[in-house]
Amino acid sequence: MVINASLHPIKNQASPSTGLTWWPSPAKLNLFLHINGRYQNGYHQLQSLFQLLDFGDKIAFEVNASGHITLAQSIPGVADQDNLIVKAAKLLQNHVLPEKAKNLGCHIHLNKVLPMGGGIGGGSSNAATTLVALNSLWKLNLPDETLAGIGLQLGADVPIFIFGKTAFAEGVGEQLQAVELPQKYYLVVFPDCHVSTAEIFQLADLPRNTARIEFSDYKFDNTHNDCQEIVCERYPNVANTLQWLLEYAPSRMTGTGACVFAIFEQQQDALNVQAKLPKGSTSFVAQGRNISPLYAEKQPNT
Ligand SMILES: C[C@@](CO)(OP(=O)(O)O)[C@H](O)COP(=O)(O)OP(=O)(O)OC[C@H]1O[C@@H](n2ccc(N)nc2=O)[C@H](O)[C@@H]1O
Ligand SMILES: Nc1ncnc2c1ncn2[C@@H]1O[C@H](COP(=O)(O)OP(=O)(O)O)[C@@H](O)[C@H]1O
């Protein structure tokens, strides 16, 4: 299955049929992921290169004064109260005075295309888009640093999507330095299995001692993903998909999996390889973006 969800065509535009304004919620790739050590709280000390993509989910927000957060569509397998969109909206409500929060409500529509548990940050991106959009629509005027701090409570990957720029990341992924990368094309393949981030980080034999690098020394070829080998050992679908892609282009797993990506200079080359994927594969072709589609144009309703 080829997923079609480029964020260009309807970016920040009200749909004539529904009147809803859709906010982009883009995916990311980890072009590399090095584990340098572990903090006392068990979290891993990372270095990574977050590449934002022009591709992802879309979310629309109908604000009201009910004080309630409701979803127009549930995600199968995710209870509404566990949905990161709902959690983000509630954390934002809790951040303002109770007197004001009781009048901040929203009915939220989600157009979900990104595979979950894929290492492409869909849930974190949904949370970030919710924080950015509701901060604007509820006229809270909180600075991005405050939104990133709220987002970090939901996941280590939320701050990058609020930051909104392709970035070299350190710490648990919250120390971000914007970088300009050539805007290449990526064929991203979902190997039809879900990898739990928590599961991979708990494994005793996960490598955790890669030497720190300076970003000025970065080249794709002199970096790697410390989770890739251990995930490939446990998930043959990931190993097979990666092996397949490597026949065509430089390729790697993103995050803690399961998605793998191959890098191309030309969109057509990526599309040609996508057309050769085994029948039934789930995939998309996206372009790397230095600025998130969430910020690429003037935001609506501000
Ligand atoms: C490692 C990355 C790279 O992008 O993997 P992906 O999830 O994208 O695959 C992310 O930073 C993940 O971020 P996110 O998916 O938001 O993770 P969280 O919900 O914060 O954490 C899930 C679990 O992973 C572990 N964890 C997460 C991040 C980290 N730096 N060290 C950890 O040990 C913790 O056990 C935590 O309970
Ligand atoms: N709005 C959401 N979108 C995606 N996943 C969500 C959402 N809300 C909660 N989740 C949960 O978060 C988990 C991680 O999702 P996701 O961020 O897509 O994966 P990853 O961290 O591997 O990139 C999912 O398996 C799902 O249970």
Backbone φ, ψ for residue 272 (5° rounding): -65, -40
pLDDT of 70 reads 98
The token duo for 180 is: 């300009």
292 marked as part of a ligand binding site: no
Place of tokens 């903090």: 39
The token duo for 279 is: 């029948």
Closest Cα partner for 32 from 276, 223, 182?
223
**Residue to mutate, 78, 82, 129, ligand 2, most ligand atoms under 8 Å from C-beta:** 78
CA–CA separation, 298 and 154 (whole Å):
26
- Residue whose CA is at the smallest distance from ligand 1 atom 5: 255
Beta strand segments in the chain, E: 22-38, 44-64, 69-71, 105-111, 167-171, 175-178, 185-190, 251-253, 260-264, 282-289
More confident residue, 100 or 113: 113
Please determine, for residue 11, whether its predicted confidence score (pLDDT) is greater than 50. Answer: no
Q: Say whether the peptide bond before residue 27 is cis (omega within 30 degrees of 0).
A: no
Burial class of residue 69 in the structure, from the number of CB atoms within 10 Å of its CB (0-12 exposed, 13-18 middle, 19+ buried): buried
Query: Given the CA of residue 114, which atom of ligand 2 is nearest to it?
Result: 18
Closest Cα partner for 58 from 114, 135, 110?
110
The pTM of the full predicted model, rounded to 2 decimals, is 0.94
56 lines ligand 2 (CB under 6 A): no
CA–CA separation, 105 and 93 (whole Å):
9
Provide the CB-side half-sphere exposure for 176 (13 A, CA).
23
Please determine, for residue 39, whether its predicted confidence score (pLDDT) is greater than 70. Answer: yes
Which ligand is closest to the CA of 227, given by its number? 1
- Residue whose CA is at the smallest distance from ligand 2 atom 5: 123
The token duo for 102 is: 């009781």
124 marked as part of a ligand binding site: yes
Confidence bin at 280 (pLDDT 50/70/90): confident
pLDDT in tens, 223-243: 999 999 999 999 999 999 999
CA-to-CA dists, residue 277 to 12, 28, 87, 192, 274, angstroms: 32, 22, 37, 13, 5
Confidence bin at 297 (pLDDT 50/70/90): low
pLDDT in tens, 119-138: 999 999 999 999 999 999 99
- Residue whose CA is at the smallest distance from ligand 2 atom 7: 123
pLDDT of 157 reads 94
Q: 57, 5 in Cβ contact below 8 A?
A: yes
Q: What are the structural domains, with CATH classification, of the chain?
A: 22-289 (3.30.230.10)
Per-residue pLDDT, averaged over 147-171, amounts to 96
Q: 138, 103 in Cβ contact below 8 A?
A: no
Confidence bin at 16 (pLDDT 50/70/90): low
Please determine, for residue 161, whether its predicted confidence score (pLDDT) is greater than 80. Answer: yes
pLDDT of 98 reads 82
